[in-house]
Amino acid sequence: MKMYDVIVVGSGIGGTLFASLNHKKHDLLLFEKDNNLGGCSSTFKRFNNYYNTGATTFVGYEEGHIVKRFFDEVDYKPNLIQTKVGVRIVQDEKEVDRVQDFESFLENIEKTYPNANNRHFWATIKEIDEKFWELKKLYYAKYSWSAYKQSIACVTEILKTYKDQLFMSADGFIKKSLGEISSEYQAFIDAQLLITLQTKSKELSLLTMALGLAYPFHKTYYVQGGIGELIEGLLKDVPYKKNEGILEIKRHADYYEVHSTKGIYHTKNVVLNSTIYQSSQLFDDKAIKKYYKKFKFNDQSAFVLYLKVKSKADFLHHYQIILDKQIPNSISNSFFVSFSDKDDEKLSKDGYSITISTHTKASIWEGLSKKEYETKKLLTQEHITRAFLNYFDTIQEEDISRAFSSTAKTFQSYIGRQNCGGEALKIKNILSIPTCTTPFKGLYNIGDTVFAGQGWAGVALGVDVLNKEFNNG
């Protein structure tokens, strides 16, 4: 009986980073149920063209940042284009370019949303973020004395670094620094937070809001060939199996029996890159099922529109469009637009490859007849398309050669998850946020539904904790 040291379930950012860091240290095997590696960060082919599954901003590839450190550690150098504008945010006639240079950004924000305290507000946001990534003891895990000891050291360092700022709410800081701002300015802030943290300022602490708003102050990149190229590059030398989903995992005294769609495997350890909310479905062990079911399902998901557009015009890589009214079958009044690079030979064949995403709830798409589902989907797709064409006036409807969309049901079918991200970190929930460790020996979770959250930076931080727990435990 072949016994693996560790089986990784899922090739999302978390599973990929962990596998790339550990496949030379341990007898490791990674599984992906889809044909494409990467989960929400995959690049797929349809109608003979390539599309990025979701938003494609790549942040954190810079000296001193955990993402760059991981890439260097596995000796992988991605093919990137540094963007001059991280994202252009559009609201009616207003435009704000989120650029890395603080003074350039401040000049832009002053023209668009003038406020006597803009410098104080945004400088504080930037400073809080910079201090966070300079912390030396970032750690959060449970279920062992070592984990608790390191977690306490992390909390102590954070308290010492931020002091009273740590206990301030996001809305409280907005009011204290900016005063009563216009609904447009608030929408500008909230639209960005929905993208990075899946929620608005009223639900966040100052620290979490700062991390969500500050990412364009870092270097931002476009990935040549699609965001999935990062995943494939990191997994180049990693043993993996595609098109092989995991159906069931049985716990034995000192190992796990993993049943896939094609066979049975045995391993001492399991690292799940599935969401914390759906992990219980993989087990028949009552204690494990009970553990996972205690986490309340995050219903938030995404609606994504994919376009192939023939145009000779030049575009930025990323835009966020804020509308006056909420998008049908959505929980947002904004959508995020990712353009392929004009010179990207893979994605821009036959025109720009465009991914447009907005926020919705998985429950909106449940319990519908096929006709009801298609009608709802088309309504949302057409609404976003009209708003897209209204802003990008150099693109005409006839320039769109292909258009199709996906919902929570689509994501469940292809990558095995309905939702996007987990619960945003707040002071009141920090002790209940799931960690990479579980109460069960040899069973771990990684990804955007456990500490420290979503995006390359957040997931990488969680991987860093798991890597230390796994290799030093």
Q: How far apart are CA 74 and CA 234, in angstroms?
A: 8
pLDDT digits 0-9 by tens, 228-252: 999 999 999 999 999 999 999 999 9
Residue 427: pLDDT above 90?
A: no
Of 249, 373, 206, 360, nearest to 298 by C-alpha is 360
> Longest C-alpha distance within the chain, in Å?
70
Q: How far apart are the first and last CA of the chain?
A: 26
pLDDT at position 332 = 94
**Across 294-323, average pLDDT:** 93
pLDDT digits 0-9 by tens, 47-93: 999 999 987 789 999 998 999 999 999 999 999 999 999 999 999 99
Q: What angle, 0 to 180 degrees and rounded to 10, lies between the N-to-C axes of helices 118-134 and 170-178?
A: 140
Of 135, 68, 57, nearest to 100 by C-alpha is 57
Residue 208: alpha-carbon gap to chain centroid: 15
Residues facing 359 on adjacent strands: 302
The pTM for the full model equals 0.95
pLDDT at position 424 = 65
Of 308, 330, 324, nearest to 402 by C-alpha is 308
Higher pLDDT, 194 or 453: 194
On the CB side of 391, CA atoms within 13 Å amount to 23
Domains in the chain, CATH or no CATH each = 3-79+223-296+424-472 (3.50.50.60), 87-222 (no CATH), 300-415 (no CATH)
